[in-house]
Chains A and B, each alone.
Chain A
Amino acid sequence: MTIDKILALGQTAMELGLINSLTVLSLFLSYSMLNVCDLSTDGCYTLGAAVGALVAIAGYPWLSLPAAMLAGMISGFVTATLQTRMGVQSLLAGIVVNTALYSVNMALTGNKATLSMNKTTTIFSMAKNLLKETPLGGQSTLIVMLIVVALVIVFLCFFLKTKLGLAIRATGSNADMVRSSSINPTFTTTVGLCVSNAFTGLSGCLMAQQAKSFDINMGSGMVTVALASLLIGGVFVAKHKPIPLRAVGAVLGAVIFRIVYALALRFNMPAFMLKAVSSIIVVLAISGPYLRKQLPLMIRRWKASREGRNA
C-alpha cells in the first residue's frame, strides 16, 4: 500500500469522523449534560439526511442545513414532550419516536428507501468547486467539516455557559436543585433535547451529502456508534475537565472511532461488524469501571466459597 493511499484512507476516516462527531456532540449535550439517553437519535439522524437530501435535490444546498436542523429540533421537541408532559418514560419516548420516524422518513422521500444525489449540488460539491484551483482542492470536504464542527463547538461552549445552559446542566446533575432555583425542569429538558437533536439532524444531512446518497437505514445503530465515540473521547478528556476540552474530546473520540474502524476494514474485518464493535466498546466503557469495582468482591466471595467447601 502506498503512502498516498494511506493518507487518502486517513482523510476519508477523518471526514466521516467529523461528520459523525456532530451526533457525538449532540449526545454530549443530551447524555453527558442533561443525563437523558436519547434513543431517537437513529431516526433523527435519518430524518436530517432525508430532509437535507430533499432540499438539496430541490436546488437549495445552503437551505438544506438549517432545514435538517429544524427537522431534528421538531423531533427532539416531540421526544421531550412525551417524556416531560405526557408521562412516557424517557427511554421509551426515544424508542417510540425512533419507530415513528421510520414512517415519517419514508413518507418524506415518497416511499423510496434510497435517494441518489450524484448530480445534486451539495455544500461539499460547492466547496470543491470553490477550492478547485487552490492547493487545498483535495481537502475541501475536510475543510468544510472542520469549519462546521468548530462552529458547533463554539456555539455549545457559549450556550452551556449561559443561564439556560447552566440550568440544562443542573437538570442533569440535580433536578431537585433546578426546581428550587425556580426553573422548570420540563422546560430545560425540552430546550436541551431540541438543541441536541438539531445537531443530530445536521449530522445526518451532511453524511447524506458527503455520500451523495440517502438510505433509509443509514441511521441505524447510530446512537451506539455515537455513544462509543463519546466514551472513547471521555478516555482522553476526563469528566472534571472544562467543557470546551470535553467537547473537543468528544470530536476526537468520533475521529478515532472512524480511524480504528478504517484500520479494521484494512485488516479484512467485514464492514457489517461496525455495529457489533461499537456495541462492545459501549459495554466495555460503561461496565469496565463497574466490574473493576466488583472484582475484589467477587474474588473474596470465590475464596470464601472454596474455604467453605474444604471445611
Chain B
Amino acid sequence: MLELKNVCKTFHAGTPDEKKALIDISLKIEDGDFVSIIGANGAGKSTLFNAICGSFVLDSGSIYLGGKNVTMVPEHQRARQIGRLFQDPMRGSAPDMSIEENLALAAGNGGWLSRVSAADKKAFRDRLSLLDMGLEDRMRQPVGLLSGGQRQALTLLMATYHVPKVLLLDEHTAALDPGTAEKVLALTRSIVEENHITCLMITHNMQSALDLGNRTLMMDRGRVIYDVTGEERASLTINDLTDKFRQLSGRALDNDRMLLGVAE
C-alpha cells in the first residue's frame, strides 16, 4: 500500500520562477491497484513520481510505503521497493554493459564480490524469453545495440525482476512507434497482472487511461482534481474526461497530445 499525506513541494521558492509543483496531495493506493494518471503538461504528474521515489525532499507531508514512513529514506534505498520506467528508453539501462550484466545488477543477487552464476544466467534467459524478442540469444551483447522498444522491455523486466511494492510508469511507451508501444503495453499488463503489482501509470493517451487499470486520477497545477474508480469510471468516455477537465480546472485542455488522443 502506498499512501501520501498532505504532500507539498515548491521549486525555486521565493524567486520569480517559483513553481508550486505539488499542493497538499493526499492519496491512498491499495495493493494491486492499477492507477492511470492524466493531466496537462506541468500538472505535476512526474513530480509526483519523483516525490514517491525520493528524488527530492518534500517541503511538508509524508509518504508511506507498505506501512513504513519512507519520507526521509534516500532514493537508492527506496529503489529496492519501487520500480520505475521513464519515457526515454535509454534511461533505464547501462548502454556499455551487456544484457546479462544489466540484469545481474537488477537482480542484485549475492554479495559485492559475487559473480554472475550459471543459475543466474539460466534465470535471466527464462525471463528474457518471456519478452518474445529473441533477447535471450543476445545476452552478451551491449544494451546500446538494442532498439528503443527492446530497451524499454528490458527495463520493464529489470524494474520488476524482484516484484516491487509499487511500479511507476512515466509515459513509458510515448517514445516508441505505435506497434512497439502496443507490444510493450501488453507486456506491462501481463507482468503487472501476473505478479499483482501495484502500479501507477502516467499517460497522455486518454483511451488507455480508461482501458487500463481500475482507477484514474486527473491532475492539474499540482493538485489531483478528479479521482474516479468503480462504476463511474467504467461508464466514462474520453469526451466525459475532457468535459470533466474543463469543468474542474476552469479551462480547456490545452495539451495537443491529449487532444490527439481524443481524435484517435
| Interface pair B94/A169, CB less than 8 Å apart | yes
CB closest residue in chain B, given A170 = B94
Query: Is the pair A173, B97 in contact by a Cβ cutoff of 8 Å?
Result: yes
Which residues in A have their C-beta under 8 angstroms from that of B84? 180
Interface membership of A181, Cβ < 8 A: yes
Question: Which residues of A from 127 to 182 have beta carbons under 8 Å from B?
Answer: 161-164, 166-167, 169-170, 172-174, 176-182
* Closest residue of B by beta carbon distance from A186: B76
Q: Which residue of A lies closest to B91 (CB)?
A: A176
What is the chain A residue whose CB lies nearest that of B54? A179
A176 to B76, CA, bound (A): 10
Known: A162-B113, A163-B112. A181 touches B79 (CB 8 A): yes
B79 A182 Cβ-Cβ under 8 A? yes
Cα(A161)–Cα(B115), bound, Å = 6
Q: Looking across the interface, which residue of chain B has its beta carbon closest to that of A162?
A: B113
Query: B239 contacts the other chain (Cβ, under 8 Å)?
Result: no
Using A163-B104, A163-B112, A181-B106 as known contacts, say yes or no to A169 and B93 having CB atoms under 8 A apart.
no
**Which residues of chain B from 79 to 103 have a CB within 8 Å of any chain A CB?**
79-80, 83-84, 90-97, 101-102
Interface class of chain B by DSSP: mixed
Among B77, B112, B114, B142, point to the contact of A182 (Cβ < 8 A): B77
Interface residues in B, total, Cβ within 8 A: 33
Among B74, B84, B91, B104, max chain A CB count under 10 A is at B104
> Which of B74, B92, B113 is the one whose CB lies under 8 Å from A177?
B92
Residues of A within 8 A of B74 (CB): 184
Q: Closest CB of chain A to B40's CB: distance in Å?
A: 26
Say whether B111 faces chain A, with CB atoms less than 8 Å apart: yes
User: Which chain A residue has the least Cβ–Cβ distance from B141?
Assistant: A240
Closest residue of B by beta carbon distance from A187: B76
Measured CA separation A177–B101 after assembly (Å)? 12
> Separation in Å of the B165 CB from the closest CB of chain A?
13
On chain B, the residues within 8 Å of A178 by CB distance are 76, 94, 105
**Is B110 located at the chain interface by the 8 A CB criterion?**
yes
- Partner of B94 from the list A177, A185, A240 (CB cut-off 8 Å) is A177
The A-contacting residues of B in range 108-125, CB under 8 angstroms, are 108-116
Can you sample 19 A-B contacts with CB below 8 Å? A161-B115, A163-B109, A163-B111, A163-B112, A163-B113, A163-B115, A166-B101, A169-B101, A170-B101, A170-B102, A173-B95, A173-B96, A174-B94, A177-B105, A179-B76, A180-B79, A180-B83, A180-B159, A183-B105
